[in-house]
Amino acid sequence: MKKDRLRVLLISHTCQSRTEGQPKAQCLGSMPEIDLHVLAPERWRHYGAWRAAQMPENAAFAFRAGKVRCPWAGPAQSYLHWYPELRTTLEEFQPHIIDLWEEPWGLVSAQVCRLRNRFFPNTKILSETEQNIDKRLPLPFELIRRYTLQNADFAVGRNAASIEVLRAKGYQGPAQVVPNAVDAELFHPMDREECRRAIGVRGFVAGYVGRLVPEKGLMEMVEALFLSHMKVSLLFVGTGEYQGLLERRARELGVMARVRFLPGQPLEALPQIMNALDVLVLPSRTTPRWKEQFGRVIIEAHACSTPVIGSDSGAIPEVIGEAGIVFRERDVRALAEAMERLRVSPGEGRRLGALGRHRVEERFTWKRVAERMRAIYLAMCPSTPEGPGSAPAPGAAVQRITSVAPVGREVR
């Protein structure tokens, strides 16, 4: 433990993965002001399959795969998970800041707030969220969210609407939008013709990468293909029960010969696919319970200088910015016209792709996102490690715990 650095405990199931969350931790841990420890679940249910935590390689941060209770609870999903050894972890590390990269209605968020209030009153809590729909959650989750937001010292939203939802739910503290990120060294422009030959595509190819589920608006892609030029084809990369319905509709419309499906691919294979596409399409549909919270495939395509067409669902326009085409969700004709616009004007596609790559380098690399989080951490604890905003020095745990006043700080 380095006493002259800001001690941050990042609690995140996303950091189980070397590719999904650990790159952000690596950038944060490499910063000279930050002593970063990461706590991730030993086991986690990820899109229906159990996975174990991956130990980081050459890490600039300390990593602990902790035991969790209730990692999966049926209809409650993962939102009842908590760490039985968390108090011990906090006493050992004595963080200035606990960064909860978990939704505020998760039981682990309430656990952190409760422990902080009882035993670590000088530690700051940062709560992160992606939720961009203002909806009332079933019990006990609405109560947990209220409790977390009453106790958080700072909030980070993945999109602008998520901050609005926090405000609607009563959060009154400081907040900022910090987006998702992409590995801009893995995802980069490649020889497009070589990539197209490698995966066997020709003509103008519009592609989708992700889960094959109804809310992603994939039926609109098939129906837009029916309205498109014969040289346009679709490539779906992903898995899901919706594939059968998409195939059936393509046959009904007589366009199945121009539709191809590939199974889900490892992250390392996606840059080649993104570079083989003429355009990536994300035609998501808003539902009463979900709208697109970010759309990571957008920045993966942009990092490869591939233009993007996206619907106006949720955060998609916010992420695309000026580097793509946005159409009204569920508008099949508008989607077909957007694809035709790029087919007949390859120069426009190259221009949008170049803008996308620039946008990624400016806003969406892991380094850029980590820099924004670093600025937030330093703003939360400007006087660490010795000033009034700091946590007690390591070794002071017993004295601090025995001298703390009765719980009364939980709603501040």
Bridge-based pairing of strands 43-46 and 49-52 is antiparallel
Identify the residue whose tokens are 């020889």.
Answer: 191
- Domains of the chain are 6-181+366-403 (3.40.50.2000), 192-364 (3.40.50.2000)
What is residue 4's predicted lDDT score, i.e. its pLDDT? 78
CA distances from 324 to 29, 269, 321, 349 (A): 34, 23, 7, 9
Confidence category of residue 383, pLDDT binned at 50, 70, 90: confident
Confidence category of residue 2, pLDDT binned at 50, 70, 90: low
How many alpha carbons lie under 13 Å from residue 97 in its C-beta half-sphere?
29
Confidence category of residue 47, pLDDT binned at 50, 70, 90: confident
Radius of gyration, CA atoms only, the chain: 23
What is residue 406's predicted lDDT score, i.e. its pLDDT? 27
Percent of the chain with pLDDT over 70: 92
pLDDT (tens digit per residue) in 79-106:
999 999 999 999 999 999 999 999 999 9
- For the cut 70, the answer to whether the pLDDT of residue 270 exceeds it is yes
